[in-house]
Each structure stands twice: as structure tokens, then as C-alpha cells.
Amino acid sequence: MTTPNLPRWTGLAAPPGRFAACQGTVCDSGTSCVTSPALDPAEREALIGLLLDSSAEAIYGVDARGRCVFVNRAFLRLTGYDDADALIGRRVHDLIHHRHADGSPYPASECPLVRTYRDGGELHGDDETFWRRDGTPFPVEYWSHPLRRDGKVIGAVVSFFDIGARLRDEARLRQAAAVYESTLEGVLITDPDANIVAVNQAFIRITGYAEAEVIGRNPRLLASGRQALGFYREMWHALTTEGGWEGEIWNRRKNGETYPEWLAINGVRDGHGRLINYVAVFSDISRLKQSEARLEQLAHYDPLTGLPNRLLFQSRLAHALNIARRRASRLALLYLDLDRFKNVNDSLGHPAGDELLVAIARRLGQRMREEDTLARLGGDEFIILLERIDAPETAALVARQILDLLAEPFQLSDGHEVFVSASIGISLFPEDGGDVTELVRNADTAMYQIKDNGRDGYRFYTESLTHAASARLELETRLRRALERQEFELHYQPQVAVADGRVLGVEALLRWRHPERGLIGPDHFIPLAEESGLIVPIGDWVLERACAQARAWLDQGLPPLTIAVNLSMRQLRQRGLAGRVGEILAETGLEARWLELEITESMMMNRADPALETLRELKALGVGLAMDDFGTGYSSLAHLKHFAIDRLKIDRGFVRDLPTDRGDLEIAATIIAMARNLGLEVLAEGVETHEQLAFLSERGCDAYQGYLFSRPLDADAIPALLTGAG
């Protein structure tokens, strides 16, 4: 780089104020400086030259006519000229100031700077544009100081620098400030320690906090409590490792209302990479959310009934299928089509039809469990998804209930009473299909078969299921009615002492005298009665009937008999069973000691079972307790002590092959021996042969019941048996 040739300075005094304090003739401030008489003129000149050249500001000197006297190095750098000597004597105005900022000519006669060269005034401004040698303009801030000799103005020294960058920064800042204040997005700025240092108008509008209420505080004050701690931990992690975070977050307004916002936080660093601020920009997206929800509603729900539409139904079904597959559970689809709905529309008009559909949807909805989905497929077609059903009959039961529900007339607002019926087709997973399309199609097919068969009913896609389910349902309905119609009766099977053949008691066994099917044994209906809960009223009837019968026999003058009554699990779990038994005993006038209740092992799985308490209460009444079907369950003999049992009944299964089967033989012998050890009585069930009886007798079994002595008998047959045996 070439050092430009600078002009000689001799005789020139530095302008006051712009350079270091000066004692020259024109200067009235300061102490020693380059003009100090301590320096010889050559040194002084060199020093001034050095000073001028080390300045970052461009400096030039002109005479009173504006001709260049000197320029410094910064001048050359800024204007793009390279030869200082070539500039000397040229009019500086023409060199760098000949045009206005807009490019129009700028006559020297109009230039305020030029005026100072002549007139000597000081001038400072930042509104001028200078031009480089290559024709590009740049805005400047400048100072002009007069140059005097012997008190007379002989020119000026002008310094200036390019303020383009500064102006650009200022403009940017002004724009940013305008954006900051006018944007719809809330802006919050914190220091590195997350203390709020600034917020904008939108922040104030969205959150409801005034600026003064939040400055200096932690943005935590906006937290809604909806996000877990881990959420914020992740946010901070992203902020510290990635320098920013963006996402959806729920915050709380000053009035307590929570709202969703889309939030972007960024760290701001200075030129040295030090974190100086966090800037959070957020927009309130509750509106957006609302319209999203609205869209979701439109896309997935039927506008008339508010029920899920086909689209949503299919996605729920797909989801349910995944779960059912994983859990190996069953689910059912009920495809429901109203019968002759077109008639309603045609005769009463569409508004009435719509009203009816809404009412039907509401009524159906009442029957649904939480986990079920009821959807409207369109028109008069509905579909129901039943998740996790235990047996096909459950689906049939729901279908039946739905048909019953719809059978009640609908009252329309115009006063019309409308009767509707429906046809329901049922498909099951996994039996009738493995995917959405197949299951829906098969339920639909089954529905059309009902329509072909005269409507108003349900049908499974798999035909055999329809029969099985309807048989079962019919049985349940019949069973319900059997109690009212007094179709139940008790038969009594004698229990006999092994030692002397004396009748000790009888076991009451339930029978159902079905009007068409004749006498039905308990094995055919007790399980269903248990499932449906009907066993509770039925069992109550059995207890009452048996006690009344025992009392009647006593009243007839027969020797006292123990009457054994079977209890089901459902009954035992019922609250207040002991109280009810006490009532029955009181009503019938039977002493408690003549009643024995039979329970089975499976009812007593653990010692914490609340049923144990019921057993104790029964025991306290003075009622006997027997363990029925012993050996088929899992309880150990020692376990029995906790049940307060008086008697064990060896299950018929172990008696049947006595005394030939070695296994049975050992089991029966062991049960007898251990029961005796525990001080329990033992009764063997199902004794049919003399060999069996002989074995039991030999092993010390106390009592037995079985066809060998007598089948279960009608109540009337018992007295003869007793008197005969007695």
C-alpha cells in the first residue's frame, strides 16, 4: 500500500476543539499539544500529519474558495481517491459534493459547507450526501471549522464519516420497534435469568397483565398448570442446547382463564456469543383451536343427531379391533336399520322425520355403555360397536333391549305418536371377519336377512348363533316369568346314616316345571340364573319353600329332619343374607339347627373374602354349613377350619367308581380320614351301589345320599319314607 503524499502544514493552526487541546493563536483552550512551542516546526508538522492520518474520520482542509489544501488518509479511503497530491488545489465540492442525494446537481453556491469556507461559521450536520470517485453516494455526518490566519478566515477544516451503516441500523431498529408494538403476537423479553424486561402491547392484550405487573418477574406467572414439570424441563433443555424452542403450550390469563398459545422462544447473544436475552413470541391460538374443533365436529359427527359419523365410526372400530386382537377379546357390530322409516318422512314430512331420528339417537344412547360407540351411518341407519363382550348372547341381549326400547312410542312435537321398529344385523369379531370392511358388510348382510324375514328383529351373520342366542334369551325371559307363575318346585333327596340306614335329613333340589318342556333339572337353568342375577329371588324362594316344608313335616308329627339347601355364589355375596335367613326361619317357625346351607369350595377362594363374614353370621344364627362337591375345588382340608364348616360332602365323581378305581378309592379314604381328624362329619354323594356303601361304611363315612336309597322325591313322598324307615 502506498502512503499518499501529504501537503505541507507550515503555518497552519489546528482548528479548535476538533483536535487535542491547543495553545495556538486561534485556540483558547488546553495546555500543551502539537502546537506547543517545545516542538520544533518540523517535529510539529510530522506529528500533526501523523495525527491526521491516524484518525478514523475523513478530514480535509480547504482555502476560502473551497480549494483543497490537504486531505488525510481516511478521506482517501472513504472517497476512493488514491493520490492526495492530485487533489490539492481542486474544489472539494466538485469532487465529492456535486450532487444531492437524489442525484440532482448541487451547485456550490447553494452549499452551506462552502459558505463556511468563506464566512468562517462552524457547521455540524448529518443531512448531506457525499459521492465517491466511482459515483456511489454515501450519507455523512460532518463538522466544519474555520481556519484563520491573523484573525482572518482563510478556509476551513472539515471532518466527516460515513453514517450509512448507522442509518441502516436506526431504520432497522425503528422498523423492529414498530413491528414489536404493532404485531398481533405477544412478545416477552427476559434477561438471561428469565426476569421479564419488556413486553409489547399484544402481550398486554392477550394476557391481561399491565407492563408494570410483569416487569422483573418470571414468566412462570403465566403458567396454567396444565403442563407437567417435565414439559418445562424439556423446553429449557432445548433452549440451552439448541438455542430455541417452539411449540404449543397452555397459559393462564390474569383473569384466570387458560388458553392455548403457539410459542417460540429464542436466546439472543451478543457479538461475543454471550447470552443477553430470551425473546418469546406467542400467538393466542384459542380461536384456531375452536375452528379446529369445529372442523373436527363437522368431519366426524353427524350434524343432525350429534352422533359419530361413518368416518369416525370406522376409525374407532379399527382401533377397537387392534385392542381386541391384542387381548384376544371379542367385539360385536350391530347394524340397525329402522323399518319403514320412509313412511314417516312421506306422511309426516321431513322435519318430523328428523325429529324422530334425533329422539331415536337419544334413546339408543341411553342404552350404551361408556365403551360402546353408537354412530349414524346416514338416513335411518345406525351402527353400534360393542367392545369386550364375553359371549355372542350379550350382543343378542343388547339387540333385544334396543328393539324393546324402540317399541315404546315416540311423541313428536306436533302431537303425533309414532311407532317404530328396527332390524338389527350382528357381526362378531373374530367369528365373522377380521377387518372393518368385512365386519360392517356382514352385519349389513345379516340386517338385510332380517328385512327379508319380515323385519323387527335381530340376526347374527352366523346363523347358528341366532338360534343359540335366541334360545338362551328366551330361556331367560321364561325363567323370569317362571317365578311369578310358580313353575318352580322342590324335590327332596334323603340323606341317610351309613351305620343304621336312618334318614337324617333331606337335600332340597330345585326343579322347573316348564309348561311345554316338562320338568327341567337345575343344571339347565341355574348357570343362566346366576349370570342374570335371577338366582337371588329364586334362591330366596327355595329357602322359604324348604323351611316351610320342613316345618310342615314337623307339624305332621314326623321326626325332625335336617333340610339342606344349596346356596349359589351370588346369594352368598349378597348383603344381608344372614338377616334374610333369620327372617325366613322366624316366619316359618323352623329352628335354625334343622337348616343346613350347602356351599361349594369355589365360593371360598381366600381368607379375606367378605363372604367369610356372612358365613360367620349364618353360623351365629345356629344354621349348619356343609361343603358341597368336596374334592373338585382347590381348598385344602386345613383351609376348611376357617370356614366354620360342619360337614363335608364328597363329590359324586369320587364315589362313582368306588371301590374299583384306586385313585378314587384313595381320595375318598383320605377325605374321610382327614375330615374325622378335623371333627367334621362326612357325607358321600351319589351312592348307587351296595359296594360303594360297603366301602364307605368300612372307612367310617357318616352319611350318604344317592339313588341306592332314593332319588330326589316329591315332598308328598317323604313322610311314607320316614315312617317306613323309622
SS3 573: coil
Name the segment binding ligand C2E (CB under 6 A); options: 152-160, 404-412, 422-430, 566-574. Answer: 566-574
* Site for ligand C2E contains 628 (CB under 6 A): yes
Distance CA 620, CA 207 (A): 69
| Phi, psi dihedrals of residue 296, rounded to the nearest 5° | -60, -40
Residue 494 as a binder of ligand C2E (CB under 6 A): the answer is: no
Indicate whether 234 belongs to the interface with ligand C2E (CB under 6 A): no
- 356 is an interface residue for ligand C2E by CB under 6 A: no
Contact status: 57 vs Mg ion (CB under 5 A): no
Please give the size of the binding site for Mg ion, defined by CB under 5 A: 5
- For residues 166 and 453, give the distance between their C-alpha atoms in angstroms, rounded to a whole number: 91
Note whether 706 binds ligand C2E by CB under 6 A.
yes
- Give the one entry of ligand C2E, Mg ion, none that residue 190 binds, where binding means its C-beta sits below a cut-off of 5 to 8 angstroms depending on kind: none
Give yes or no for a contact between 21 and 33, defined as CB atoms under 8 angstroms apart: yes
3-state secondary structure of 303: coil
Hey, what's the cell of 609? Answer: 373374602
Please select the residue that binds ligand C2E; options are 251, 373, 493, 614, rule is CB under 6 A: 493
Instruction: Let me know if 71 is exposed, middle or buried by CB neighbors in 10 A (0-12, 13-18, 19+).
Output: buried
Smallest distance, Mg ion to C-beta of residue 630, A: 8
Cis bond upstream, residue 659 (ω within 30): yes
Residue from 232, 239, 233, 234 nearest 275 by CA = 239
- For position 521 contacting ligand C2E by CB under 6 A, the verdict is yes
716 binds ligand C2E (CB under 6 A): no
Q: What angle do CA 562, 499, 711 make, to 5 degrees?
A: 55
337 binds Mg ion (CB under 5 A): no
Q: Which of Mg ion, ligand C2E, none interacts with 200 (beta carbon under 5 to 8 A by kind)?
A: none
Choose the one of Mg ion, ligand C2E, none that binds residue 706, judging by a C-beta under 5 to 8 angstroms depending on kind. Answer: ligand C2E
Determine, following the binding rule CB under 5 A, whether residue 598 of this chain makes contact with Mg ion: yes
Q: Quick one: which of 35, 116, 427, 566 contacts ligand C2E (CB under 6 A)?
A: 566
Residue nearest ligand C2E by beta-carbon distance: 706
Answer yes or no: are the C-beta atoms of 601 and 632 closer than 8 Å.
yes
Asked if 664 interacts with Mg ion (CB under 5 A), we say: no
CB of 686 vs ligand C2E, minimal distance in Å: 4
* Strand arrangement of the beta sheet that strand 152-162 belongs to: 68-71, 58-63, 152-162, 137-149, 123-131
Q: Are the C-beta atoms of 709 and 686 separated by less than 8 Å? A: no
Note whether 603 and 639 are within 8 A (CB): no
Nearer to ligand C2E, 146 or 539 (CB): 539
Determine which residue in the list 355, 629, 664, 702 makes contact with ligand C2E, applying CB under 6 A: 629
Nearer to Mg ion by Cβ, of 60 and 630: the residue is: 630
| Spatial CB neighbours of 483, under 8 Å, sequence gap ≥ 6 | 534, 537, 538, 541
What CA–CA distances, in Å, run from 279 to 188, 192, 196, 362, 688? 6, 10, 10, 51, 93
Q: 222 contacts which partner out of ligand C2E, Mg ion, none, CB within 5 to 8 A by kind?
A: none
**232 vs 707, beta carbon nearer ligand C2E:** 707
Is 566 a binder of Mg ion (CB under 5 A)?
Answer: yes
Q: Which stretch binds ligand C2E (CB under 6 A): 330-338, 374-382, 675-683, 701-709?
A: 701-709
Across the beta sheet with 275-284, the strand order is 196-199, 186-190, 275-284, 258-269, 244-252
Q: Does 520 bind ligand C2E (CB under 6 A)?
A: no
Which range touches ligand C2E (CB under 6 A), out of 87-95, 187-195, 447-455, 706-714? 706-714
User: Is the CB of residue 219 less than 8 Å from the CB of residue 190?
Assistant: yes
Q: Convert residues 603-632 into a mask of x (bound to Mg ion by CB under 5 A) and - (unbound).
A: -------------------------xx---
Indicate the SS3 state at residue 301: strand
Does 24 bind ligand C2E (CB under 6 A)? Our answer is no
Residues that bind Mg ion (CB under 5 A): 566, 598, 628-629, 685
Q: Which residues bind ligand C2E (CB under 6 A)?
A: 493, 509-510, 521-523, 526, 539, 542, 566-568, 598, 628-629, 652, 685-688, 705-707, 712
